[in-house]
Amino acid sequence: MERCHPSEVYELFVRHMNTPRVVVDNGVCDTATLVQVHSARKHGVLLEAVAALSDHGVCVRKGYISSDDGRWFMDVFHVTDAAGCKVADADKLLVRLESSLAAAAAAADALPRPAGCDSPAKEALCLLELIGVDRPGLLSEVFAVLHDLRCSTVDAKAWTHGGRVAALVFVRDEDTGAPIHDAARIRRIESRLRHVLRGGARGARTVLLDAAAVGNLDRRLHQLLSEDREADRRAPAEGPTATAVAVQEWGERGYSVVTVSCRDRPKLLFDVVCTLTDLDYVVYHGTFDTDGDHAQQVRLLAVSCSIDPQDFSF
């Protein structure tokens, strides 16, 4: 019988302990599917869980986050499909969530592999980061420009917010299938796209794809829109649909309490968690709930500095 070196056994043990464990149950709640995620505490693990749910098209209706002294955490989500019903195939959702979270936990699997690309993304593609004014027909014009410049589009993803659009477009040379390295050609692509996007100097940027450049695609799109101050210069909403953010210090426990109340929408929870993660805050406890089309979310955070409500833009 083959014996493993003690260091290999320990490495497997640590990997098993740090891989999130998922439970999906359709029998606990009459109106929603229950999803539980247990994991060792590490920075960004909550975002990985919420991103996995978002990627698989389920809507989070309510839930809570709990952590001990910072070593372990447990998330409980009540989720439905887009029609507001329980998830029909709970076993399939379980497999997909376990696969997504295991991949996110492994550094070797951090790179996205767009459809149609068999080799690792960083060896075959360039990434275009686009930001500009949203309008009908914009994406058609963007792809027409890329086609005219002999760029083969492999995959793309876009978000819109506040009259602005952010997009990630994976391209390679149409003739050779290789990344585009020619500096003059890259400048020409960026110039043409900036004109279409009406985004000024920040309208288009080309980067060679690597793990540090992208990571989670939705998170990068969130960051692009957060960095784009134009999206925040629109007139503030009023009435029952307005977004309200409150921050209170709980000094005796070393927490800041963040409360967000606004209209519910797809990826709202992802946006909140992504904002907190990008600001380098750690969520120790929290609850969130929805009532019809309204969402109220409460977060308790362990932070080293005070939180500015202006950091949150939804």
Between 133-137, 257-261, 304-308, the lowest mean confidence (pLDDT) is in 304-308
CA distance 208 to 29: 46
CA 257 to chain centre: 23
Delimiting residues of CATH 3.40.1020 domain(s) in the chain: 6-109+241-303
Task: Give me the half-sphere count of Cα atoms (radius 13 Å) on the Cβ side of residue 162.
Answer: 20
Task: Give tens-digit pLDDT for 34-47.
Answer: 999 888 777 777 88
Average pLDDT of the residues in 69-85: 82
Answer yes or no: is pLDDT of 300 > 50.
yes
Other CB atoms within 10 A of residue 183 CB: 9
Answer yes or no: is pLDDT of 91 > 50.
yes
Average pLDDT of the residues in 177-197: 87
What would be the CATH architecture of the domain defined by 126-233? 2-Layer Sandwich (3.30)
Q: What is the pLDDT of residue 104?
A: 65
Average pLDDT of the residues in 267-278: 84
Task: Give tens-digit pLDDT for 107-140.
Answer: 433 444 444 444 344 445 788 888 888 889 999 9
pTM across the whole model: 0.65
The model's confidence at residue 33, banded by pLDDT at 50, 70 and 90, is very high
Fold of 6-109+241-303: Biosynthetic Threonine Deaminase; domain 3 (3.40.1020)
Q: What is the pLDDT of residue 214?
A: 55
The model's confidence at residue 183, banded by pLDDT at 50, 70 and 90, is confident
Delimiting residues of CATH 3.30.70.260 domain(s) in the chain: 126-233
The model's confidence at residue 106, banded by pLDDT at 50, 70 and 90, is low
Q: What is the pLDDT of residue 269?
A: 86
Q: What is the pLDDT of residue 1?
A: 45
Buried (b) or exposed (e) across 290-299, using 16+ Cβ within 10 A? Answer: beeeebbbbb
